[in-house]
Amino acid sequence: MGDTRGFLKVKRRKPRYRPVGERVKDYRDVTIPPTDDVSRQQASRCMDCGTPFCHSKCPVGNYIPEWNDMESHDQWRDAYRLLQATNNFPEFTGRVCPAPCEYACVLSINDDPVTIKENELSIIEHAFENGIVKAKPPEKRTGKKVAVVGSGPAGLACADHLNQAGHSITVFERDEEPGGILRYGIPDFKLEKSVIERRIDLMEEEGVKFRTGVHVGIDLKINKLTREYDAVCLAGGSRVPRDLKVPGRDLKGIYFAMGYLTQSNRNISGQKLSKELTIDVKGKKVLVIGGGDTGSDCVGTAIRQGAASVVQVEVLKKPSDNRPVDQPWPCYPNILKTSTSHEEGCERVWTVNTKEFIGKDGNVSAISCEHEGRPLKIAADIVILAMGFLHPEHKGLLDDLKLDYDQRGNVKTDIKMMTSKKGVFSAGDMRTGQSLVVWAISEGRRAAHNIDKFLMGKSNLPVI
């Protein structure tokens, strides 16, 4: 560290956002990126701590103190090299990761933590803008072919890693464009799709092939895939949503969050749907059930679509503003998190247990619920269920392969991430259940290591 007392001289700078009145009129990124000077100053706050606990909470094992030090000294190229060594896609995690590393920052014991997430994003964006990021195809090919099914963060990380090892990689995606949840599940105001396309273009230049609009198991039989490829990695995600089966569930106007967000993202990209299929919230009272990130994304989307009002309810009690005593540092604490979408105009209600959907003329008009032990009725023209996901879709590909499932319905693998069918591996939410983008990237990297070892007998790819 160049200045071990930097944290005493520079205070944490909060992320900057575009004014609410401006950003709700479009779907562009809500953040205002810091200048290089600001990023260098913030990076200088990283302490020369004896044990950097930020490592322990980073699923990809980022070299956080090291690249913070390089960034603070204007050594952007070296910072990028070190960042890329552990994280295939820092431009994704730098935008959508909840930054568990910051809650484990030693400085956060009695001060504001280092802006690790923002510093990470500054490094990768500086590298892209200044031509530091360049395609690097492998010098030689191994002659081995690997099929990756699913182009979400786990599938992309697995494909990118295996391509670096010299294998010939084809990524199969059933949707029109690659990206999975990154493209179809996360709104543009958090992750603009040009960011994804920039990375896909780079991967294609390095030799990765993408076949979109191919539903493996239907358009392409899995037996054909296992015959033509030396190994297969299943990274299709966890797509079966958790439902709320209470009286009135069959009323019209009740939708799953992912269907709503996917439709919005398709519309923004220029894919127009018929009026009959469009979820129209303009001028309507929208109720989002579920208090997580997906629910927050639905809130921001509904506001931009002109909803008359947006209410978000959560079955759990309201978290405290400060770290609970039973969740001491460096644990990731359950504290109140207010997103940019919440700041744009949303009523939030906690400890709400939905008992019934109330309807009028076949359409939902309200929910009947219990709130802090008392009955409560909340009006709603549109209800969006954002309560997470159960497991991957079994029917089709997974059942055709006759794969084993764990107790939660996820694809069961051994310690080497191989499924019950030899040569077929699995990674990401399909294997672990719903999780973070950064965990999916970590999963993809681990799967790549194990696949490389399966094909070659050994592997030089890092385990995480």
Model pLDDT for residues 175-225, shown as the tens digit of each residue? 999 999 999 999 999 999 999 999 999 999 999 999 999 999 999 999 999
Residue 328's CB is within 10 A of a number of other CB atoms, namely 10
Q: Say yes or no: 105 and 121 in one domain.
A: yes
Q: Name the pairing type of β-strands 374-379 and 382-385.
A: unpaired
Query: CA distances (Å), 202 to each of 182, 207, 391, 443, 454, in order?
Result: 17, 9, 31, 21, 27
**pLDDT tens digit sequence for 399-425:** 999 999 999 999 999 999 999 999 999
The residue type of 233 is C
The pair of three-digit structure tokens given for residue 320, joined into one six-digit string: 């405290």
Q: Say yes or no: 82 and 150 in one domain.
A: no
**pLDDT tens digit sequence for 52-64:** 999 999 999 999 9
Q: How many CA atoms lie within 13 A of 417 on its CB side?
A: 30
Domain contains 1: no
**pLDDT tens digit sequence for 276-333:** 789 999 999 999 999 999 999 999 999 999 999 999 999 999 999 999 999 999 999 9
Residues 6+ apart with CB under 8 A from 184: 175, 258, 261, 262, 265, 266
Last residue of a domain, one of 337, 362, 387: 387
Where does the pLDDT of residue 1 fall: very low under 50, low under 70, confident under 90, or very high at 90 and above?
A: low
Q: Say yes or no: 66 and 163 in one domain.
A: no
Q: Which helix (H) or strand (E) holds 377?
A: strand 374-379
Give me the mean pLDDT over the 131-140 stretch: 97
Asked if 287 and 298 touch (Cβ cutoff 8 Å), the reply is no
Asked if 238 and 410 touch (Cβ cutoff 8 Å), the reply is yes
Q: Look up the domain containing 11 and give its range.
A: 6-129
**pLDDT tens digit sequence for 241-272:** 999 999 999 999 999 999 999 999 999 999 88
pTM exceeding the 0.85 threshold for the entire prediction: yes
Q: Say yes or no: 259 and 381 in one domain.
A: yes
Last residue of a domain, one of 97, 129, 161: 129
Q: What is the mean pLDDT of the chain?
A: 96
Q: Which helix (H) or strand (E) holds 210?
A: strand 209-212
The span from the CA of 51 to the CA of 100, in Å, is 16
Query: CA distances (Å), 188 to each of 69, 180, 210, 392, in order?
Result: 31, 14, 22, 25
Q: The domain spanning residue 65 has which CATH number?
A: 1.10.1060.10
Residue 108's CB is within 10 A of a number of other CB atoms, namely 18
Angle of the 76-86 helix axis to the 64-72 helix axis, nearest 10: 160
Number of domains forming the structure of the chain: 3
Burial class (CB in 10 A: 0-12, 13-18, 19+), 119: buried
